[in-house]
Amino acid sequence: MERSRRLAGGILAAALVAAAGAGGCAEAEVERMSSSEKPREAASQPAGPAGREVATFGAGCFWGVEVAFRCLQGVTETTVGYSGGTFKNPSYKDVCSGRTGHAEVVRVVYNPAKVSYERLLEVFWACHDPTTPNRQGPDVGSQYRSVIFHHNAAQAAAAKASKERLDRSGRFGRPIVTQIAPAGPFYRAEEYHQQYLEKRGRASCKTPP
> Angle, to 10 degrees, between the axis of helix 117-126 and the axis of helix 2-22?
40
pLDDT at residue 3 tops 60: no
In the chain, DSSP assigns E strands to 42-44, 53-59, 75-83, 103-110, 135-136, 139-140, 146-150, 179-182, 185-188
Question: If you average pLDDT over every residue of the chain, what do you get?
Answer: 83
Distance CA(134)–CA(59), nearest Å, equals 10
How large is the average pLDDT for residues 94-108? 95
Question: Which residues are designated catalytic?
Answer: 61
**Segments making up each domain of the chain, as ranges:** 2-28+43-199
User: What does the pLDDT look like over 38-69, one tens digit per residue?
Assistant: 555 555 556 667 789 999 999 999 999 999 99
What is the model's pLDDT at position 199?
87
What is the model's pLDDT at position 107?
97
Region of residue 173 (left: phi > 0; alpha: psi -120 to 50; beta: else): left
How large is the average pLDDT for residues 91-113? 95
Q: Which helix (H) or strand (E) holds 10?
A: helix 2-22
User: What does the pLDDT look like over 7-17, one tens digit per residue?
Assistant: 334 434 454 44
Between 140 and 205, the more confident residue is: 140
What is the model's pLDDT at position 5?
42
What is the model's pLDDT at position 202?
81
How large is the average pLDDT for residues 189-206? 84
CATH of domain 2-28+43-199: 3.30.1060.10
Q: Band of the pLDDT at 93, cuts 50, 70, 90?
A: very high
pLDDT at residue 201 tops 60: yes
What is the model's pLDDT at position 10?
47
Specify whether the CB–CB gap between 134 and 22 falls below 8 A. no
Q: What's the sign of the alpha-carbon dihedral 127, 71, 52, 81?
A: positive
Q: What is the pTM of this model?
A: 0.82
Distance CA(147)–CA(89), nearest Å, equals 20
Between 130 and 200, the more confident residue is: 130
User: What does the pLDDT look like over 123-174, one tens digit per residue?
Assistant: 999 999 999 999 999 999 999 999 999 999 999 999 999 999 999 999 999 9
